[in-house]
Amino acid sequence: MGLFLGSAHYLLAGVVFALLVRALLGKKAIRRNGEPLRNPPDTLPLVGNGIQFLQPRWNLLSWFDKCQRQFGYETLALTVPTLPPGVLIHDPKNLDYVFKHEGLFTKGNFVKTRSWDLFGNGIINADGDFWKLQRKAGLSFLNTANLRVLTGVALPQYLSESVKELEAAKPDQVVDLQDVFHEITTKLMGKMAYNMEMHFSSPFSSSFDHASGCTAQRFQNPLYPLTEFFFGHKFRQSISTVKKFGLEIVSRAMRDAKSISSSPPPSTSPDDEKLDSISGSLIHSLLSAIPDSPSTVADAALTYLSAGRDTTGQALTWTFYLLLSHPEVLVKIRDEVRGVLAREQAPLDTSSSLPFSPAVLTPLSAPYSLAVFYESLRLYPPIPFEIRQAQAATTLPDGTFLPKDSVLVWCLWAMQRSRLTWGEDADQFRPERWLDENGTIKHKGAAEFPVFYGGARSCLGRKMAEGIAVQVIPVVAWGWEFEGAWEGGQERRSGDSLTLPMEGGLPVFVRRRGETTGR
Ligand code: HEM
């Protein structure tokens, strides 16, 4: 169900809600140095910025960007009937303060009530002991030894299976690259985290996507309990499919644990043995950390799945979208591959679906490819904006006073396009900005490049995502040529979702490159 801009009932309810909240919190207003904050562009009397929040998310992202372009680092008042009084921050100093005071700025009831049905007690929603237990389980899943199996065994195997679809494509056949990338990340997470063979095209995935879209709309529609009561049948069905799947992961893991202790698995090839030895490591850590609550373990497992699979698959999709219009970057990626293969004395393999063994590609050996990934994450952050709620009154470094319960919003989409932070060419896709004169990666702090969040709750899977990207991007860029296959050539957009999936996927025509095959 869409969001209807002209829906008078939304607006009316929004106005009433805004007035009530203001009446309750008005006494302790948000101020900077005693003065009220300026309003963002297009602010209206009574409804404030509510109209922007009712629009499809793609338009909302553009509006956030407009705010940043007009006001630079200035913190602005945000008045949205669906939100308690709040601010829109742009200044990295303020964001740094948020990251350093994780206990003060939490998701709060506002976010949790909206994402509860989908994520329950999963790590994204959890605080306190539940969060610590899940974070610990995640850290042990993402340890160095497991990451080595990921890049040395699991990823080459799944990458090789997935590129067969590219290999088999006829010249006039359309391939959806987003599906190809999602299939790789789904298989990886399924096997390594849960010891399950999972595919992107399963009913679980479409249910999860639908539930994620509806959950995202809850942040914009103040009447969601009412509209879902009447029109939420599909949403409820999707949630039920997703939850059932979560419990299936848990009961499978419990069965696995029993069968492994009674009879060890038959020995296979050394690579399979390595992969089998770590498979299911996340779900087993979660089960031993939270032995009494299968439903919490299921929530945790689903949250990890979404955090790891969707973000990385989507980031790769936007990367290739950018590469389609930047052939000069493709040339440099291929130059880098040539250099790595020569240094490692790794041969081209014309007999298999993979043009060479991807295990030689690491963030250290392929810094240009990593820079391409970062540059794509800068322009298309998989989690494009964040909301936190102040748990006590506080003052931001720029002097903005926030009463308890104020909402803080920052839009990565806008901040990562700021000319103040990224220079005059901030809108351009230029991977070189990430490299120093020796071709080594220049790191940016989390407050300026918050794509993996920052502080105590920063992304646990950053290394995993980077390890995947520096293999997938060069292998696919080396092996195949692509051409966009969508009508009209307009920009691709993301639909309503908690992350940034490309609406309609990334349809392309594919051709194997001559350099790979010797043809
Ligand atoms: C390009 C890929 C990725 C991006 C851009 C990304 C981004 C983020 C962001 C912004 C957050 C904070 C979300 C919030 O609390 O609102 C986060 C948290 C998290 N991410 Fe990632 N992520 C990526 C890949 C991964 C992967 C591969 C995993 C592996 C399983 C993962 C696991 C997690 C977990 C467990 C958290 C929650 C951390 C906590 O609350 O302590 N992420 N990620």
Q: Is the CB of 302 under 6 A from ligand 1?
A: no
Question: Ligand 1 centroid vs 455 CA: distance in angstroms?
Answer: 12
The residue among 340 and 357 whose pLDDT is bigger is 340
The helix (run of H) or strand (run of E) holding residue 88 is: strand 86-88
Please state, in angstroms and as integers, the Cα–Cα distance from residue 397 to each residue in 13, 390, 500, following that order. Answer: 35, 14, 30
Instruction: Give the count of domains, the chain.
Output: 1
> Please, which pLDDT band fits residue 7 given cuts at 50, 70 and 90?
very low
Contacts of residue 466, Cβ cutoff 8 Å, sequence gap at least 6: 363, 370, 373
The residue among 255 and 230 whose pLDDT is bigger is 230
Protein residue with least CA distance to atom 21, ligand 1: 459
> Please, which pLDDT band fits residue 260 given cuts at 50, 70 and 90?
low
Q: Is the CB of 382 under 6 A from ligand 1?
A: yes
pLDDT score of 5 more than 70 = no
- 15-24, 160-169, 432-441, 458-467: which has the minimum mean pLDDT? 15-24
408 within domain boundaries: yes
Measure the CA–CA gap between 353 and 331, rounded to whole angstroms.
21
Q: Is the CB of 204 under 6 A from ligand 1?
A: no
Contacts of residue 373, Cβ cutoff 8 Å, sequence gap at least 6: 315, 319, 466, 469, 470, 473
151 within domain boundaries: yes
- 3-7, 24-28, 205-209: which has the minimum mean pLDDT? 3-7
Pocket-testing residue among 187, 189, 459, ligand 1, by greatest number of atoms within 8 A of Cβ: 459
Q: Which atom of ligand 1 is nearest to the CA of 141?
A: 30
Protein residue with least CA distance to atom 31, ligand 1: 461
Question: Ligand 1 centroid vs 52 CA: distance in angstroms?
Answer: 27
207 within domain boundaries: yes
Q: For residue 456, what are its two tokens?
A: 């105590």
Protein residue with least CA distance to atom 43, ligand 1: 459
Measure the CA–CA gap between 141 and 372, rounded to whole angstroms.
27
53 within domain boundaries: yes
Helix intervals (H) in 362-518 = 367-379, 412-415, 419-422, 462-479, 514-517
Residues 117-157 have pLDDT tens digits of 999 999 999 888 889 989 998 998 888 888 888 888 889 99
Helix (H, G, I), strand (E, B) or coil at 83: coil
CATH number of the domain within which 429 lies: 1.10.630.10
44 within domain boundaries: yes
Measure the CA–CA gap between 422 and 430, rounded to whole angstroms.
11
> Please, which pLDDT band fits residue 28 given cuts at 50, 70 and 90?
low
Question: Ligand 1 centroid vs 385 CA: distance in angstroms?
Answer: 13
High-pLDDT (> 90) share of the chain, %: 58
Question: Ligand 1 centroid vs 23 CA: distance in angstroms?
Answer: 37
Pocket-testing residue among 373, 375, 452, ligand 1, by greatest number of atoms within 8 A of Cβ: 452
Helix (H, G, I), strand (E, B) or coil at 155: helix
Residues 392-437 have pLDDT tens digits of 999 999 999 999 999 999 999 999 999 999 999 999 999 999 999 9
3 within domain boundaries: no
Protein residue with least CA distance to atom 17, ligand 1: 459
2 within domain boundaries: no
| Highest-confidence segment of 22-31, 80-89, 330-339 | 330-339
CA nearest neighbour of 507 among 171, 169, 177, 163: 177
pLDDT on residue 23: 45
209 within domain boundaries: yes
Measure the CA–CA gap between 180 and 220, rounded to whole angstroms.
31
pLDDT score of 276 more than 80 = no
| Strands lying side by side in the sheet with 175-176 | 175-176, 507-512, 480-484
Q: Is the CB of 307 under 6 A from ligand 1?
A: yes
pLDDT on residue 263: 56
This model of the complex carries an ipTM of 0.99
Helices and strands counted in the chain (H then E): 23, 11
- 115-129, 266-280, 356-370: which has the minimum mean pLDDT? 266-280
Phi (first) and psi of residue 320, to 5 degrees? -75, -25
Strands 76-78 and 86-88 come out as antiparallel
Q: Is the CB of 123 under 6 A from ligand 1?
A: yes
Q: Is the CB of 463 under 6 A from ligand 1?
A: no
Q: Is the CB of 457 under 6 A from ligand 1?
A: yes
Measure the CA–CA gap between 480 and 510, rounded to whole angstroms.
7
Measure the CA–CA gap between 325 and 323, rounded to whole angstroms.
5
Q: Domain span at residue 422? A: 8-517
pLDDT on residue 12: 47
